[in-house]
Chain A
Amino acid sequence: MSDNNATSETQPASVAGSKTHFGFTQVDTEQKESLVADVFHSVAAKYDIMNDVMSMGIHRIWKRYTIDCSGARKGQQILDLAGGTGDLTAKFSRIVGPTGSVTLSDINPSMLEVGKDKLRDMGLVDNIKYVEANAEALPFPDNHFDIVTMAFGLRNVTHKENALASIYRVLKPGGRLLVLEFSKPTSSALEKIYDTYSFHLLPKMGKLIADDEDSYRYLAESIRMHPDQDTLEQMMQTAGFEGTSYTNLTGGIVALHRGFKY
């Protein structure tokens, strides 16, 4: 998996005329952001229901595990980056309480809007901020957050190393980053089943439920193009993170990476 994706992981910033991957397609580097934006504008309204259907509800367990590994506590400042419809934000908001604050940040206004509505309906208003931002250039002060989480967001970012550097900057010393992302299944049998599911079934489910086959084909392809567990851990270390580790979940279909800024 890691050998598929050399294009953008090794390029520190956009160079005019350079190429990157958008799923399995090679596109101009400057184009990727808007293509990703189109995908999430298109899926925003049906995003939550599709998440439940596609993962058979297991994404809730993966997210719960992320929360349980966060060490979050009352009064903390937390950034839920690429937070979309705010599943992690909802839990964090109740943990940090009125003296803490959770920032739900996403590059996509449609996803943020769905998130804002959902969290308001849950009665969560007081300690949540909504910030439209690109993970590659975060508009927050240095050393600001105790915890940064990024769930299923990093693989969509054009220059992942820029995003990791940006996260490192906004974390307080002692703070931690948790990256929950699709990864490489640890057994080849599981990988085969998973590939069949993601390349054949997933786009069809996308068509059936959200009338959007292309976006869900991109989802499957982008998972394949994402760095494997060890490569991502290495990238985190390069960005300056220490004490890095990862845990495979559901046979490595998903992995939770952790790193600290000391």
Chain B
Amino acid sequence: MPITQLLSGAAELSANELMRWDNDYQTYLAPLAGRSLGITLLPMHLTVHLYFSDSRIDISIPETLPQNEIEVAADICDCHLTIHISALSEMRNANQLTRLIKEDKLDIEGDLAVAQNVSALANNLDIDLTEMLTHKLGDVPAHTLMGGANSIKNYVAYLKQHVEVTVGEALIEEKRLVASPLALAHFSDEVTDTRYWCDRLTARIQRLEQAQQAQQQDVK
């Protein structure tokens, strides 16, 4: 059984199921109806095509032919994004896009409005997970599950905060040990003075040595 198609089928089912839990999903889909977005993930070169209609998303993972036909042409979709996997998490922040393009982590071909509308769809969807699970599993399991998920979320948040505080304190302690700019300047002046006195002393010693050599020659 082709595993890729099993996965894309599961992804398509979940995406459409999830989306329907926001009553306004069709409003967000409307500007995308009839449009398509291609995404190629680097470095795996995995390409996914998303086709939008007024009530659903179809997901396709195009297959290349055995004889290596250039099948996954970027122009199949209205807009095609090529993204490095490390940049995925930064994609939500529109301010980062220019930087990602400059760093060759993102390439956009075609109609940018499609990518913007997909981003708006992802950001606008407001899905009440508790309500969804209640409908699927019943009241008690849904609340237990959400309670568990919230505890994990809170614990992760606590851990994150704890790590931040520890790192912050360590930095402050470290800072106390580090010399201030004024002390550094003073130290640098003292080094300069010491070098000056050393140079003078060396010159005097040289002169004394020369005088001593001259005296010895006179005695001979």
Contacts and interface: CB of A to CB of B under 8 A. Distances in A.
A214 to B, nearest CB: 30
Nearest to B72: A71
A98 B34 CA distance: 7
A180 to B, nearest CB: 12
Contacts of A94: 51, 53, 56, 58
B36 A65 contact: no
A213 B78 CA distance: 48
B54 A123 contact: yes
Interface residues of A, number: 23
B63 A61 contact: no
Nearest to A247: B66
B76 interface: yes
A68 B63 CA distance: 6
Nearest to A253: B1
B117 interface: no
Contact of B65 (A60, A64, A74, A258): A258
B69 to A, nearest CB: 8
Interface stretch (B3-11, B94-102, B156-164, B201-209): B3-11
A245 B66 contact: yes
A58 interface: yes
- Say which size band chain B's interface belongs to: 20 to 34
A189 B9 CA distance: 29
B212 interface: no
B51 A61 contact: no
Nearest to A244: B67
B55 interface: yes
Interface in A175-232: none
A129 interface: no
Contacts of B1: 58, 61, 249-250
A95 B58 contact: yes
B134 interface: no
A73 B8 CA distance: 18
A250 B2 CA distance: 8
Interface string B62-76: 110111010100001
Interface of A: 58, 60-61, 64-65, 67-69, 71, 73-74, 91, 94-95, 97-98, 123, 243, 245, 247, 249-250, 258
Interface of B: 1-2, 4-6, 8-9, 34, 36, 51, 53-56, 58, 60-63, 65-67, 69, 71, 76, 78
